[in-house]
Structure 1
């Protein structure tokens, strides 16, 4: 995908407009909404409610959020599995914090669109359970840096795959009717 959004720039805008979440958390929420099967414009009020108590988001930030939504949707629909989590690319501890916030907001987003998510069985049910456990992740700064980095990469990949699994589960693909 050629278009991208700069994490730090979006984060600065969220702080500037006094929105109390990070870019990672916003992305997790949007992915949760999409993974839950939402495809119409009702995603906007959900995001506005979370960000701004239901009030319209200021134009510059709204444009960036719309672009993030569109790029994320493209990634999730892509057959080459381009979808990536939107996290800082520096400092392992900041990335871990971003991942936990991302997962927490993903669960919030998917829960709003799929209110019976707790009753889902099978692979998706187990994956949702695992995500709830990941939200409780912590770390000790005395831990071996290489081991912690390896564990983080493994968990991040699991979250990425789980997000795509949920998207596939709750988003029906259009089947072209066979003409006889």
Structure 2
């Protein structure tokens, strides 16, 4: 399982488009990460039912597209449950800054949707989690101004992406399903 990687963005986009699904790889990973961070159970495939309802009117996905979702789910679950405090976002190449920025916004929007789909109670959030959620809501509205210095905006966008990651990890730490600790048996 350690060799599971995020799929190539363009290949995933081709498969999702060929399956007539109106979701990009960035949106898909944002949605799945939001569901995981919101506490969706990971011990069954109910997440797929929610995904199919949200993205395809309850209809299942073709095999190749479904494999992409499975890979993203497994990768994201492993990454979020690890201790590395690292989050990799499935985004297109940053060669086209406007497309890249749009994908970041889509990722964040779908992350927020995923939190809602997980059905987590947002009423008892820690102060840090509330602030992270407010930050993500603001970030989801950001865009690149083509008239401004694009190299400067690219640097700012990378800083925003790092902040998104911190916000997501903060929310995940507060809301996600915690692994059940097994109590060691003591022999007397």
TM-score by length of 2: 0.88
Distance 2:157 2:27 in 1: 17
Distance 1:83 1:138 in 2: 22
Partner of 1:50: 54
Once the two structures are overlaid, the 10-residue window that deviates more, 112-121 or 53-62, is 112-121
Please list every run of 5 or more consecutive structure 2 residues that lacks an aligned counterpart in the other structure: none
2:101 is the counterpart of 1:96: yes
What secondary structure does 2:116 align onto?
helix
Runs of 4 or more consecutive aligned structure 1 residues displaced over 6 Å after TM superposition: none
Aligned mate of 1:122, from 127, 152, 155: 127
Cα deviation per residue 1:101-138 (whole Å; 9 max; x = unaligned)? 00000000001213532663410011111111111112
Over aligned residue pairs, what C-alpha RMSD do you find?
A: 1.7
Once the two structures are overlaid, the 10-residue window that deviates more, 58-67 or 93-102, is 58-67
What secondary structure does 1:117 align onto?
coil
2:78 is the counterpart of 1:74: yes
Once the two structures are overlaid, the 10-residue window that deviates more, 19-28 or 134-143, is 134-143
Distance 1:168 1:9 in 2: 31
Please list every run of 5 or more consecutive structure 1 residues that lacks an aligned counterpart in the other structure: none
TM-score by length of 1: 0.91
The number of residue pairs the alignment matches comes to 180
Cα deviation per residue 1:75-104 (whole Å; 9 max; x = unaligned)? 111212332111112322111100000000
